[in-house]
Amino acid sequence: MHKKPAILALFALLPLLCFSQRGKKQKGSTVYVATTLNYYPAIEPYSFFSSFMDEDRNLILEFLTANSGKFVIEEAEAVLINRENSTAFPSQLLGVGASLQVLKYSGLFHEVSLTKLSFNKSAHHIDFIVVDTAEARVPYTLGYDERGSAFGFRYELGKYFGDRRNSVRFGISGGFETSFYSYKKTPRDISSYPLRARIMTIEVAAIPMLTAKLSKQISMDFKVIPNMLLGDFASVEEQNPLVPLDQQAGEREYNLPEVNVAFSLLLRYVIKESKK
């Protein structure tokens, strides 16, 4: 005769049992690794400005004499010359990267990403050699050698929304990204000057994303990353011995707030599932 109260008690305890089971799922985290395809806009060019005095010579008279040869009379005028050179460094527009994400059952996640990784080396040479002459001529060379590299890292704290069983979900995160650039250009002719650059940038972004579950172990994310520049620490020098040291440094103009929109496509793989 005590069966009915026992059944009622069982029904009363069902919600608590279900909640207890859900609570166990919330304790674990899922760990993903991802390969990424990243797009970043080109690096803004740097300008080099120098000012120096020169002479503007104008021919007044040229004549020959029987005993002394040719005489030339010129008029010279001092002029001020402003020289501006703009240099755009090689940029990694498309590149591969990697990320590690720790996703909690609630949808909160931490993520660390390698966003930029590139090395480049190139050369452009033009050789001039005079062959149709009886006189010895020294060959003349134009061109340059250049080397560059780029590294970028980003940390994100974010959340996915919606039921985790859905095939498509929306998410948003806050990101902090730092990038390092190195560049060296060595000219082959005397009319150009060596150029060296070392640049570090710090950027933040609010990053919307869409995630699609492809299988139990594989998912894909697409992110739009509007990076806002917080700081730019640069040493960019055109090593021109004809100008003072304070005029050898390059500068770039900022239109704050400076925002560069990047994109990232990530293919994620589960390497550790949440505990149940």
Residue found by looking up tokens 């002459």 in the block: 133
The C-alpha atoms of residue 50 and residue 86 are separated, in whole angstroms, by 12
Contact 160, 171 (CB under 8 A): yes
pLDDT of 275 reads 73
Residue 22 falls within a domain, yes or no?
A: no
Which CATH number fits the domain that encloses residue 50?
A: 2.40.160.20
Residue 223 falls within a domain, yes or no?
A: yes
- Three-point CA angle 136, 140, 141, nearest 5°: 155
Name 152's Cβ contacts closer than 8 Å, sequence gap at least 6. 40, 97, 114, 115, 116, 117, 177, 178, 179, 180
pLDDT of 220 reads 95
pLDDT of 3 reads 42
Residue 3 carries which DSSP code?
A: H
Structural Rg of the chain based on CA atoms = 33
When divided into structural domains, the chain yields a total of: 1
* Residue (of 105, 81, 94) closest to 24 by Cα position: 105
Residue 7 falls within a domain, yes or no?
A: no
DSSP-derived pairing of the beta strands 29-39 and 46-65: unpaired
Residue 71 falls within a domain, yes or no?
A: no
User: From first to last of its 276 residues, what are the pLDDT tens digits of the chain?
Assistant: 444 444 444 344 444 444 444 444 456 789 999 999 999 988 887 777 766 666 666 656 665 666 666 666 666 666 666 667 777 777 778 889 999 999 998 899 999 999 998 888 888 887 776 666 666 566 777 788 889 999 999 999 999 998 888 899 999 999 999 999 999 988 887 777 888 889 999 999 999 999 999 998 999 999 999 999 988 888 888 887 777 777 777 777 777 788 999 999 999 999 988 776
Q: Which domain holds residue 108?
A: 28-54+85-272
Residue 5 falls within a domain, yes or no?
A: no
pLDDT of 89 reads 75
Cβ neighbours around 230 below 10 Å, total: 14
pLDDT of 171 reads 95
Residue 111 falls within a domain, yes or no?
A: yes
Residue 65 falls within a domain, yes or no?
A: no
Residue 18 falls within a domain, yes or no?
A: no
CA end-to-end distance (rounded Å), the chain: 38
